[in-house]
Structure 1
Amino acid sequence: MFNLHGKKGLVVGVANNKSIAYGCAKAFNVCGAELAITYLNEKSESYVRPLAELLGSQLILPLDVEIDGQMEAVFEAIDKKWGKLDFVVHSIAFAPRDDLHGRVVDSSKDGFLRAMDISCHSLIRLAKLAEPLMKDGGCLLTMSYHGADEVVENYGIMGPVKAALESASRYLASELGTHGIRVHAISPGPLATRAGSGILHFDELMKDAIERAPLHKLVSTDDIGALSAFLVSDLARSLTGGTIFIDGGYNIVA
């Protein structure tokens, strides 16, 4: 697809072979990039490590963004192994079930702050640690959803959280642009991932997307991977600060 030979990338958020992050990692691998891939905990390692090894990942590291020091350890390992970094994919999100399934107005302070920390502020922390390693410029990608821009039934507090994530990506693009570092939020349509299954009536959301989107189909993780490979490539060197929809056109339908 695109020439990523010589580029080094960090992919955060692979949970299994249906993850958006894994779709991205596969595309990067096909294009020749070298990868560092993280897993959440010991339980998830058994799913993630075989996938990372299949892609020839040189670094397979634990990363729970709620554990102090783990993110710093990931970047120390990258610095020691490569001494540089060209791109980062941030594909993690979380909200406590009670807060996610309830009304926004009823969300707890602790639940909202935890969702914001894991889903949004972790991108800012990744960017801060990646900046000194992106000596020749680079690209940061994060994953959003249409519920950041419009009210989507049952999306709950993740709507405001993803809106903050998109805004943060624009501010990061502005602040890091002088160093040649580009930042984008990718906004896929609904697709069957572990994260999506946590949303109430998610099957109905996917059905609605198929019926109403101009292309009348769901996107795949491979579609998102192809877009991500383009965005981190040199072909996209003049693009930054965007929220890029990949949803079959669903976002344009009233």
Structure 2
Amino acid sequence: MSIPAVKAKLLEGKKGLVVGIANDQSIAWGCARAFRAFGAELAVTYLNDKARRFVEPLAQELEAPIFLPLDVAVPGQMEAVFEAVGEQWGKLDFLVHSIAFAPRDTLAGRVTDVPLDGFLKTMEISCWSFMRMAHLAEPLMKDGGTLFTMTYYGSERVVENYNIMGVAKAALESAVRYMAAELGPKGIRVHAISPGPLATRAASGIPEFDELLAKAKAKAPARELVSIDDVGVATAFLAHDAARLMTGQVLYIDGGYNIID
């Protein structure tokens, strides 16, 4: 699937921050393309100088007026990004958080054996960073808004080799529900988007991932794998006012794979 021809700029006037584009295979890139196609203006971040050469051409394609470094493990960088958004736009309508990380030795080992430092790093990058971004986005969402993060089926079922990341995603989904309850009175919606398996750079760190892709394609009722554009279009819809009474959800975009035993 590619981004459908857009006849109406349904998100025209909306301004959003997209965190997590690594290259043109990233889920965050699929989201950014969809939001832009529907008329939204985007701020984009990149992890570090090494990543910048891959992300900058994509930011240019999006005509992003704000393009800044953001490593959530570096103190002050999150605050600097949201300060820049506030100074240039004075508001924020949506945020896409599409980052997760576990040290390789922590991800490869049993959950039972996870060391404290590996656990804390996994939770900091994969869960706490979204909570912190929500805190920073809240004062900019004066007229309401939508916060998105990315999760996976391994949060609620044991998926072989997903290990500690499943624990982190379960915590992330719980945070989504609590923040949706807290921020709902201000018109701020919070969602976790749960795509089926995708061949992204992040997924390449999971052992035997090709087998997981094959299993998903064979078992999903749709009999096909989800694409980053499928994820992007569905996410963009949820930022529209038509979805204003949807919040606190884990929304599967996986061809129905999650319903099959």
TM-score, normalised via structure 1 length: 0.99
Match of 2:68 among 38, 42, 61: 61
User: Structure 1 stretches (4+) deviating beyond 6 angstroms?
Assistant: none
Cα deviation 1:102-140 (Å, max 9, x = unaligned): 111111110011000000000000000000000000000
1:168 maps to what in 2?
A: 175
2:227 maps to which of 205, 216, 220: 220
Match of 1:36? 43
Corresponding residue for residue 207 of structure 2: 200
Aligned to 2:28: 21
Question: Is 1:93 equivalent to 2:105 in the alignment?
Answer: no
> What residue number does 1:246 align with?
253
Residue identity opposite 1:90 in structure 2: H
Supply the distance in 2 between the matched residues of 1:115 and 1:248 (Cα, whole angstroms): 28
Residue of structure 2 in register with 1:139 after alignment: 146
Q: Supply the distance in 2 between the matched residues of 1:158 and 1:79 (Cα, whole angstroms).
A: 32
* Unmatched runs of 5 consecutive residues or more in structure 1: none
Q: 2:148, 2:251 → 1: CA distance?
A: 10
Distance between the aligned counterparts of 2:55 and 2:176, measured in 1?
Answer: 27
SS class of match (1:185)? strand
AA partner of residue 81 (structure 2): V
1:124 alignment partner in structure 2: 131
TM-score of the aligned structures, taking structure 2 as reference length: 0.96
Kindly provide the CA deviation profile for residues 33-53 of structure 1, in whole angstroms up to 9, marking residues without a partner as x.
Answer: 000000000000110011001
1:253 and 1:220 map into 2 onto residues whose CA distance is 20
CA distance in 1, matches of 2:185, 2:168: 27
5+ residue gaps, structure 2, are 1-5
Q: For 1:235, what is the secondary structure of its paired residue?
A: helix
Distance in 2, matches of 1:32 and 1:212, equals 36
